[in-house]
Amino acid sequence: MMIDSGSKNVIDEIFHPRSIAVIGARSNESLENDGWVSRLIAFGYTGTIYPINPKAAEIMGLKAYPSIRDVPGPVDLAIFNVPFRISDRIMTDCAAKGVKCAHVFTAGFSETGKPEGIRLQNEIERIARQAGVRVIGPNCMGLYYPQGGITFGRLLSNKPGTVAFVSQSGASASRVVAQGTERGIYFSKVVSYGNAIDLDGTDFIEYLSSDPETKVVTSYIEGVKDGRRYFKVIREGNRKKPVIVLKAGITEGGSRAASSHTASLAGAENIWDALFRQTGVIRVDDLEELLDVAMAFVYLRRPAGRRVGIVGRGGGLGVVATDMCEKAGLKVPEFHMETQKRLEQLIPESGTSARNPVEPDRGLAAWAVFYEEGLKAIDADPNIDFILTHLGIDIYGGFGSRLTQSLDEAISILLKLSKQLSKPLVIVLYAGGRAETINAVLQAQKRCLEAGLPVYPSVPSAAKAVSRFIGYHEFLDRIAGNLK
Amino acid sequence: MMIDSGSKNVIDEIFHPRSIAVIGARSNESLENDGWVSRLIAFGYTGTIYPINPKAAEIMGLKAYPSIRDVPGPVDLAIFNVPFRISDRIMTDCAAKGVKCAHVFTAGFSETGKPEGIRLQNEIERIARQAGVRVIGPNCMGLYYPQGGITFGRLLSNKPGTVAFVSQSGASASRVVAQGTERGIYFSKVVSYGNAIDLDGTDFIEYLSSDPETKVVTSYIEGVKDGRRYFKVIREGNRKKPVIVLKAGITEGGSRAASSHTASLAGAENIWDALFRQTGVIRVDDLEELLDVAMAFVYLRRPAGRRVGIVGRGGGLGVVATDMCEKAGLKVPEFHMETQKRLEQLIPESGTSARNPVEPDRGLAAWAVFYEEGLKAIDADPNIDFILTHLGIDIYGGFGSRLTQSLDEAISILLKLSKQLSKPLVIVLYAGGRAETINAVLQAQKRCLEAGLPVYPSVPSAAKAVSRFIGYHEFLDRIAGNLK
């Protein structure tokens, strides 16, 4: 099918600007006092930065210009950090300068529902379109591209990764990048595009589906301009790499909120539901689920099937974990007889614990011992496709000083053993609400992630994400089958 | 209706034992080396403790006895901390001694599915029944009653509260008490009763429904012995005070796991579903939800209706929050025109933010200012029944050193204002995954709880819990209407 290669190439150029003008750069910016100029410097942007401010001669050691018209060289990207009332004049300046793309960070336009905001949005759209200035926004955070030294938040991680996030919402973009990197999920390219008077989510998803730096495309949308084109783009994109979408504004109140947020028409829930089912796109309900699914695509190999061997607190917690896995569409089968025999040798006292879900023993110290041998037995079981181990640190946490040490030992053995396993391994670390247990778990999580293992905060979050991950591969299989 | 007052009185006696024998007390117990005797001492149990151990003369400064038969005074409660193979002999000793109740902590019985375990369970059941010894267990943690100095975990909180938890699972009991107290939910009486050869969940729920120390009854069950009596007890109990139930073992795998956990027949999901709907009992899916609902009953006044005013990050996060509330059965209506006008005066720059959900401003510092005036305006709105405010500390968290201070200030104003509000207030504090933000949030949470305000970790957890809380009151209203 034909693809609008025009906007794809434009977007690639936008992510690689040779020069950036910050219009409305604050005269008192410093590395301590966050601003658009200092962010670019701190993130290591290597192109030319032009601070624009009629009242400053120099900002952050860079020569400042009264207007973008005064800038000597060409400007690829202009960031609008100005009051919305003068945005039309600023856009006229950009048009005169021949700016390639304007990122209008400024808010106060159509999303307010007020005549003045609507008029000004129409005006900047008209000026930009006439002059051929491409626009991101208005009312958005713009670009986060660690590889290129571009960011909308100075204290975000500058480590690049393979997950892209296309977000109509700026706060969602900030939350996803902040929480994602804390969970070991790093990003290729992120864009918050707001009211989308020019480039919209569809354009960015289309571009990222072909972007070699991106392996997973995630997205937050409220509404789209052209439903038919969106359908085509996510359908085709999802066949090249997973497309994960949070569709917001699906309830009556949410739809109204979306309208005052980005002036979007959110559309009927049943239409969206059909859209996602037909395209095989992975739908999630909130940003945490979006990151849960991304975690699986970044850290997990595809299991041969849906049958999970659960290693963790047995007893009631094991029963609930089993319910959660099966409700999410996984299967928790009985172990093969040989496995059960082997596990009974390892846990001689308690026959119950040798079944699926298996409970190593009642104390945290027993985990290291079990991981050494028990995981191998489950790994060899023909009834099992992958292993999920959940460690209830919140329960063992009461035992104070030994906790960190016992947890460290268990994780060391787990990481060593994981290399010998032929089947995928998923780790759940319950932290509870106590500061010392939380800190111990954050350390343990870091070690697991560095070893390339996925970590989840709860069994339901892991089960739902892994089930969707497997579902995506099953979807691709069905399509391949249909094409034969 | 007639109530089996026999077991109710017995259970009250069991929670108030004048003496406790620990059979199998470890000779090396100390305050550092956790055990059943040291737990009682550390928790301030004021009755007589008899350590039983044939190889020790004294344990924790208390005279030890070779057998329970050698104890001079009467024994109200005997804790079995012995290998399951000698449990029949120990039960015979207890019968001879005339022990009132045996808590059989020991595991290895019917739940193993092995002939030896089944035989021994039948045997101790026969001996106890013949001699009139009441039994909690086997295969369970027994009692946690902070008011009476009794606990199954030494490092659990000894602060009494008003929530009871009746749990077939020991690990669930530990998790609920540990996580509950960390969230400001304290307990009246908790029991983990395992295989239930004598006293079972129904008995305990019946007792707690009439217990003056208990205002909310929560419960984890896998199966019940007498479905008809269980139905009657939860139905009547739920009309006196809220009964919240997590039914585990509802999937095929979960049901099998329940059978190897407490030898329970978990029963068909549709029967349980009908049971809960008919009784109006509040059903939850996991232990976190159980605590979420308990939080509402402990900290929240009943709102006049389901219409919520949302104060928090607007933008995409506000849209998602709105969807989550409406999906959970709440309504997020438009503000009254007067409210909107007032909010527009408070947030002059951004028309969008003056609608429901309302966004104070883009930085954390602006929250304190908004709380001072904005909350009053929403409180006065006739379209609104209660207020939910969500603070995305995970997003503001990046701003380092000022975070704790800004958060402290916002919380101070919030707490001050909350006293002037006529409508209930629910607080959501997103913590994210960064150690410093988590610690700041834990502090803020503590202050809110101490001021009597409910705190949730996410909008969906708050929305679902508050919706169920309102639903319980609506159920009582319907019953009262039917009785007229």
Name the closest residue on chain A to residue B320, using Cα atoms: A248
Residue in B107, B154, B316 nearest the CB of A261: B316
Q: Are the CB atoms for A166 and A218 separated by under 8 Å?
A: yes
Put simply, the answer to whether B156 touches A182 (Cβ < 8 Å) is no
pLDDT of A321 higher than 60: yes
What is the tens place of the pLDDT at every residue in A415-471? 999 999 999 999 999 888 888 888 889 999 999 999 999 999 999 999 999 999 999
Chain B environment of A324 (Cβ under 8 Å): 285-286
Q: Is A183 in the B-facing interface, judged by CB distances under 8 Å?
A: yes
Distance in Å, alpha carbon of A392 to nearest chain B alpha carbon:
9
**Residue-level pLDDT at A3:** 41
Q: Which one has a higher pLDDT value, A190 or A368?
A: A190
Residue A394 corresponds to which amino acid? D
pLDDT of A59 higher than 80: yes
Put simply, the answer to whether A182 touches B434 (Cβ < 8 Å) is yes
Site of tokens 């659960």: A310
Question: What six digits make up the tokens of B362?
Answer: 């883009």
Per-residue pLDDT, averaged over A226-244, amounts to 95
Q: What percent of chain B has pLDDT over 70?
A: 93
pLDDT of B366 higher than 80: no
Distance in Å, alpha carbon of B32 to nearest chain A alpha carbon:
10
DSSP single-letter state for residue B378: H
**Neighbour tally for B140: CB within 10 Å:** 26
What is the tens place of the pLDDT at every residue in B424-441? 999 999 888 888 888 889
Put simply, the answer to whether B318 touches A257 (Cβ < 8 Å) is yes
Q: Is B402 in the A-facing interface, judged by CB distances under 8 Å?
A: no
Put simply, the answer to whether B246 touches A320 (Cβ < 8 Å) is yes
Interface test with B, best of A112, A265, A319, A438 (most B CBs within 10 A): A319
Put simply, the answer to whether A288 touches B458 (Cβ < 8 Å) is yes
Confidence of residue B255 (pLDDT cuts 50, 70, 90): confident
Put simply, the answer to whether A316 touches B398 (Cβ < 8 Å) is no
Interface test with A, best of B352, B353, B359, B404 (most A CBs within 10 A): B352
Distance in Å, alpha carbon of A280 to nearest chain B alpha carbon:
22
Per-residue pLDDT, averaged over A141-149, amounts to 97
Put simply, the answer to whether B352 touches A111 (Cβ < 8 Å) is yes
| Mean pLDDT score of chain B | 91
Put simply, the answer to whether B170 touches A316 (Cβ < 8 Å) is yes
Q: Is A13 in the B-facing interface, judged by CB distances under 8 Å?
A: no
pLDDT of A354 higher than 90: no
User: What CA–CA distance (Å, rounded) separates A205 from B406?
Assistant: 37
Residues 6+ apart with CB under 8 A from B462: B292, B388, B390, B426, B428, B454, B456
Per-residue pLDDT, averaged over A390-394, amounts to 82
Residues of chain A numbered 72-101 and touching chain B (CB < 8 Å)? none
Write the DSSP assignment of B8-46 as a string of letters: HHHHHHHTS-SEEEEET--TT--SSS--HHHHHHHHT--
**Residue-level pLDDT at B396:** 66
User: What CA–CA distance (Å, rounded) separates B95 from A300?
Assistant: 56
**Residue-level pLDDT at B37:** 96
Per-residue pLDDT, averaged over A275-296, amounts to 95
Name the closest residue on chain B to residue A284, using Cα atoms: B320
Confidence of residue A363 (pLDDT cuts 50, 70, 90): low
Chain A environment of B325 (Cβ under 8 Å): 253
Write the DSSP assignment of A268-319 as a string of letters: -HHHHHHHHHHHTPEEESSHHHHHHHHHHHHH-PPPSSSBEEEEE--HHHHH
Per-residue pLDDT, averaged over A7-29, amounts to 93
Q: Using alpha carbons only, give the angle A429, A434, A437 rounded to the nearest 5 degrees.
A: 45
Q: Are the CB atoms for A276 and A284 separated by under 8 Å?
A: no
Distance in Å, alpha carbon of B113 to nearest chain A alpha carbon:
7
Q: Is B220 in the A-facing interface, judged by CB distances under 8 Å?
A: yes
Name the closest residue on chain A to residue B322, using Cα atoms: A254
Residues of chain B numbered 103-142 and touching chain A (CB < 8 Å)? 107-108, 111-114, 117
pLDDT of B349 higher than 50: yes
User: What CA–CA distance (Å, rounded) separates B181 from B269?
Assistant: 31
Chain A environment of B112 (Cβ under 8 Å): 350-352
Residue in B322, B352, B434 nearest the CB of A253: B322
Residues of chain B numbered 247-286 and touching chain A (CB < 8 Å)? 248-254, 256-258, 260-261, 285-286
Chain A environment of B156 (Cβ under 8 Å): 398
Lowest mean pLDDT: which of A158-162, A258-262, A420-424, B342-346? A258-262
Q: What percent of chain A has pLDDT over 70?
A: 93
Put simply, the answer to whether A319 touches B249 (Cβ < 8 Å) is yes
Put simply, the answer to whether A254 touches B323 (Cβ < 8 Å) is yes
Q: Which one has a higher pLDDT value, B483 or B177?
A: B177
Q: Is B429 in the A-facing interface, judged by CB distances under 8 Å?
A: no
Interface test with A, best of B255, B273, B320, B401 (most A CBs within 10 A): B320
User: What CA–CA distance (Å, rounded) separates A378 from A387?
Assistant: 8
Residues of chain B numbered 186-215 and touching chain A (CB < 8 Å)? none
Residues 6+ apart with CB under 8 A from A194: A104, A107, A136, A137, A138, A139, A140, A168, A170, A262
Lowest mean pLDDT: which of A135-139, B85-89, B198-202, B349-353? B349-353
Distance in Å, alpha carbon of B194 to nearest chain A alpha carbon:
9
| Mean pLDDT score of chain A | 91
Name the closest residue on chain A to residue B118, using Cα atoms: A351
Confidence of residue B350 (pLDDT cuts 50, 70, 90): low
**Residue-level pLDDT at A2:** 37
User: What CA–CA distance (Å, rounded) separates B144 from B40?
Assistant: 10
Name the closest residue on chain B to residue A286, using Cα atoms: B320
Per-residue pLDDT, averaged over A62-88, amounts to 97
What is the tens place of the pLDDT at every residue in A252-279? 888 888 876 666 655 677 888 889 999 9
pLDDT of A104 higher than 80: yes
Distance in Å, alpha carbon of B434 to nearest chain A alpha carbon:
7
User: What CA–CA distance (Å, rounded) separates A271 from A115?
Assistant: 31
Decide the pairing of beta strands B101-104 and B134-136: parallel
Lowest mean pLDDT: which of A168-177, B313-322, B471-480? B313-322
Q: Are the CB atoms for B136 and B76 separated by under 8 Å?
A: no
Partners of B218 in beta bridges: B165, B244
Q: Is B397 in the A-facing interface, judged by CB distances under 8 Å?
A: yes
Put simply, the answer to whether B154 touches A398 (Cβ < 8 Å) is yes
Confidence of residue B3 (pLDDT cuts 50, 70, 90): very low
Name the closest residue on chain A to residue B260, using Cα atoms: A352
What is the tens place of the pLDDT at every residue in B71-117? 999 999 999 999 999 999 999 999 999 999 999 999 888 888 889 99
Q: Is B317 in the A-facing interface, judged by CB distances under 8 Å?
A: yes
**Residue-level pLDDT at B208:** 98
Question: What six digits make up the tokens of A97?
Answer: 């300068």
Per-residue pLDDT, averaged over B2-12, amounts to 68
Sheet with strand A308-312: strands edge to edge: A308-312, A386-392, A425-430, A455-456
**Residue-level pLDDT at B29:** 86
pLDDT of B262 higher than 80: no
Decide the pairing of beta strands A282-284 and A243-247: parallel
pLDDT of B402 higher than 80: no
Per-residue pLDDT, averaged over B128-144, amounts to 96
